[in-house]
């Protein structure tokens, strides 16, 4: 089937996964257009994509896709040679483990830093309201559109913002631990990037791209967490700028499927909170619960069940199960020996069904 033009990325400028998907297109050198998910387009987009989530992508063949990780894998099939997922087994699984952590655990820091600080919340709510009303951030808003922007901003802040913080235990009560944990994570990342350009060597990876999306949309895009990054690890500001403007070429990952030793403290951090959270989500979903408590550094913290955690866990699990015997043994030796695969080897929940559709046809509008 003939392609008819660039991919169209529908989302919002301050959206975590919109920016991740944009960073994916940029890293792979894929032609795309960034289009806002405005109020006027919402009904059409959600009907065609079958989801209210963002981003959604309209492909050149006129298919609508969603879910950033499967879309990245789809692009790898379309554009061989531009791959951003390592092909050697240890680096590949390590990449997916880090990407899963970025996608499913760092949003807790993101929503806390966005909505628990009044000045930041007001500024970003207005940015989101500006986009939904059909304007880019920084664009002059016509006077007669100001009430619409203000209404949308208020709705987002008092609706989605509060629900997200409560669901992810990202409230003001958790401010100290969240901030301390984020500072530590910044230190770990900065140490890695002081020794090599990207997580797995000279070539940008899907895990790097996920980090870029998180920083562009939230940790540098929002004024409050930007001050945290600049105060703690200012070198990461330059890294994000460079990574966001990197397109794969002839660069490669570390030879012989090696991992930088500085990745292992990051893996320890991932295993400290995120993997117990995945396991607790799994147990809660097995019991049919909507909420659960888990212990975080001696504190009993209540979370809302996010079903997509199980979808992402199964995605990583499926990739592991596709390894041949030799590759599986190597991955188990390097990563499994540290317990990093344990939660991903749990059997899929029989009661859970997630569909990330391959695409839906629709007429061009």
Instruction: Decide if 12 is inside a domain.
Output: yes
Helices 308-321 & 263-286, crossing angle to 10 degrees?
A: 120
d(CA 216, CA 23): 9
| pTM of the entire predicted model | 0.94
Instruction: Decide if 52 is inside a domain.
Output: yes
CB 26 within 8 A of CB 71: no
* Residues 120-140: tens digit of each pLDDT: 999 999 999 999 999 999 999
* Residues 321-355: tens digit of each pLDDT: 999 999 999 999 999 999 999 999 999 988 776 65
CB 294 within 8 A of CB 277: yes
Specify the pLDDT at position 351.
78
Residues 217-238 have a mean pLDDT of 98
Confidence label for 358 from pLDDT (cuts 50, 70 and 90): very low
Question: Above 80 in pLDDT, residue 363?
Answer: no
CB 343 within 8 A of CB 278: yes
Helix then strand then coil, in percent of the chain rounded to 5, is 60, 10, 30
Average pLDDT, the chain: 94
Look at residues 34, 96, 105 and name the one whose alpha carbon lies nearest to residue 69.
96
Q: If residue 58 lies in a helix (H) or strand (E), which one and from where to where?
A: strand 56-58
Instruction: Decide if 62 is inside a domain.
Output: yes
* Residues 66-109: tens digit of each pLDDT: 999 999 999 999 999 999 999 999 999 999 999 999 999 999 99
**Total domains, the chain:** 1
Specify the pLDDT at position 350.
80
Instruction: Decide if 48 is inside a domain.
Output: yes
Instruction: Decide if 162 is inside a domain.
Output: no
d(CA 50, CA 33): 21
Specify the pLDDT at position 33.
97
Specify the pLDDT at position 356.
47
Instruction: Decide if 309 is inside a domain.
Output: no
Q: Which residues contact 239 (CB under 8 A, 6 or more apart)?
A: 190, 193
Per the structure, the complete domain to which residue 56 belongs is given by: 7-82+355-361
The CATH number for 75's domain is 3.40.30.10
Q: In DSSP terms, which residues pair with 36 in a beta bridge?
A: 11
Residue reference for tokens 């117990």:
276
Specify the pLDDT at position 4.
62
Phi, psi of 271 (to 5 degrees): -75, -20
Instruction: Decide if 140 is inside a domain.
Output: no
């Amino acid at each position: 089937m003939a392609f008819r033009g660039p991919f169209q990325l529908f989302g919002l400028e301050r959206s975590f996964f919109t920016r991740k998907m944009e960073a994916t297109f940029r890293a792979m050198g894929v032609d795309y257009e960034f289009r806002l998910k405005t109020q006027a387009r919402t009904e059409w987009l959600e009907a065609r994509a079958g989801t209210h989530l963002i981003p959604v992508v309209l492909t050149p063949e006129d298919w609508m896709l969603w879910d950033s990780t499967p879309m990245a894998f789809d692009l790898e099939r379309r554009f061989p040679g531009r791959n951003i997922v390592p092909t050697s087994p240890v680096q590949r699984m390590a990449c997916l483990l880090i990407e899963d952590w970025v996608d499913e655990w760092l949003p807790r820091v993101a929503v806390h830093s966005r909505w628990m600080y009044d000045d930041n919340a007001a500024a970003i709510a207005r940015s989101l309201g500006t986009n939904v009303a059909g304007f880019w951030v920084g664009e002059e808003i016509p006077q007669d559109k100001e009430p619409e922007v203000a209404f949308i901003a208020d709705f987002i802040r008092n609706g989605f913002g509060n629900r997200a913080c409560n669901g992810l235990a990202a409230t003001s009560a958790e401010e100290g631990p969240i901030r301390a944990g984020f500072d530590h994570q910044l230190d770990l990342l900065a140490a890695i990037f002081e020794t090599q350009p990207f997580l797995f060597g000279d070539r940008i990876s899907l895990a790097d791209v996920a980090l870029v999306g998180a920083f562009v949309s939230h940790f540098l895009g929002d004024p409050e967490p930007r001050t945290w990054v600049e105060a703690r690890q200012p070198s990461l500001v330059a890294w994000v700028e460079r990574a966001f403007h990197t397109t794969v070429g002839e660069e490669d990952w570390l030879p012989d499927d090696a991992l930088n030793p500085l990745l292992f403290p990051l893996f320890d951090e991932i295993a400290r909170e995120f993997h117990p959270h995945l396991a607790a989500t799994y147990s809660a979903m097995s019991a049919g619960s909507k909420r659960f408590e888990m212990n975080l550094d001696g504190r009993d913290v209540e979370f809302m069940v996010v079903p997509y955690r199980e979808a992402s866990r199964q995605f990583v699990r499926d990739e592991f199960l596709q390894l041949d015997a030799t590759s599986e043994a190597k991955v188990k030796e390097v990563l499994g020996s540290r317990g990093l695969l344990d939660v991903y080897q749990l059997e899929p929940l029989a009661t859970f069904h997630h569909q990330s559709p391959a695409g839906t046809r629709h007429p061009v509008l």
